[in-house]
Amino acid sequence: MKLDVKHEVTMIKVLIVDDSKLARLVLMKVLTADPEIRVIGTAANGEEALRFLEKPPRGEIPDVVTMDMMMPGMDGFEATRKIMETHPLPIVITTSSYKPQEVEKMFRAIEAGAVTILEKPGAVAHREFAAACKEFSDTVKVMAGVKVVRRWPRDKKKTPRPAATPIIHSNHSVLAMGASTGGTGAFQQILTQLPGELPAPIMMVQHIAGEFIPGMIQWLEKTTGFPVHLARAGEKIQAGHVYIAPDDFHMGVMPGGDIELSRSEKEEGVRPSVSYLFRSVARVYGKKAIGVLLTGMGRDGGQGLKVLRDAGALTIAQDESTSTVFGMPAEAIKLGGAQYILPLKEIPIRIQQGLGLEPRPDNSE
């Protein structure tokens, strides 16, 4: 007797939270066009989302939540904070607006535990609409597999910046870092654990929509205490300052410490490229550089970190257990570019040691 065995496809279950009925319909159409995604519910604000999660229909718990920011009643930031405290799930912030108030809340939601920010697909008539829809649904699927942890309500008192004591002369003159998906939160956590009087400039590439960069800069400056700048061609990098690559420009450095910006070809499909920055830093600083490759989709940065290591630089890749997406660090490790493979919490400690500083024990939990 021949049995007809049906193999059930694992479906990714999504909850859409958005106050706009039209936006909910569009996102539902975009997501359900993917045969691996099923929308199990929608909510018009944070209160509805929490009620859904407390008593999910048919007992179905979503694998991922898409979250709008500006909603009546409980907005996206408060909803993210409460969900991460009570029903921790991967939350993807979605937006079609770049007003300062909304952008600030987006990055506060990342701080509260959201995994990434996505632009909502544009108007149907837009010539790149199909590609935008695919990128949106593909990212939602990847985020559904992210491991999240419960966030506990935090004391609103400002945590003092950790102090560090110089112990030896530092042989490192610049810190170069790169990331993609999950990187904004990782950057913020590293910067908050570094002392303000850092004896080296920090150059950073983050794959993110250009409209979010000004808000990211303001958020990082406000929450880390570092002076954070949008990189400008010809500007001389200074110790203790952070420089972010602008949208659609590769960022490098020239002999003497002047920033170089380039519109040369994309690398691994992106511009700015982390590998471009790493190669530039390797040429100018060689063994006097520190390179750090953090969480992100794709392969960008892997080849560049290998170039840095071959030049004698100290190189670090974030480990799989703490990466939102273990794509970019995995590529660097595969190529032999990572001298150290560390969980996120240990990366600022190793940076300080590389800069000749003795970090104090981290007692924050």
Distances (CA, A) of 262 to 52, 273, 283: 48, 10, 16
359: confidence class by pLDDT, cuts 50, 70, 90: low
**Which CATH superfamily hosts domain 164-359?**
Methylesterase CheB, C-terminal domain (3.40.50.180)
Beta-sheet strands, E only, within 171-241: 174-179, 202-206, 228-230
Same CATH topology for 12-144 and 164-359? yes
Residues marked as catalytic: 180, 207, 300
Q: How many alpha carbons fall within 13 Å on the CB side of residue 259?
A: 25
Q: How confident is the model at residue 365 (pLDDT cuts 50, 70, 90)?
A: very low
Q: Which residue has the higher pLDDT, 7 or 266?
A: 266
Least confident piece of the model among 119-128, 274-283, 347-356: 119-128
The encoded tokens of residue 138 equal 């593909």
Tens of pLDDT, residues 171-225: 679 999 999 999 999 999 999 999 988 999 999 999 998 889 999 999 999 999 9
Average predicted confidence (pLDDT) for the chain: 90
* Cα 104 to Cα 320: distance, rounded to the nearest angstrom: 28
- Map out the domains of the chain as residue ranges: 12-144, 164-359
pLDDT, position 39:
97
Model pTM score: 0.88
* CATH of 12-144 given 3.40.50.300, 1.10.3720.10, 3.40.50.2300, 3.40.50.2000: 3.40.50.2300
The rounded distance, in Å, linking the Cα atoms of 323 and 302 is: 15
Q: Determine the pLDDT at residue 166.
A: 54
| β-pair type (228-230, 242-244) | parallel
Distance CA 22, CA 65 (A): 18
Query: Tokens at residue 187, please?
Result: 């950057």
Note the residue count of the chain: 365
**pLDDT tens digits, one per residue of 326-349:** 999 999 999 999 999 999 999 999
Dump pLDDT digits (tens) for 97-114: 777 778 888 999 999 999
Going by pLDDT thresholds of 50, 70 and 90, the confidence category of residue 150 is confident
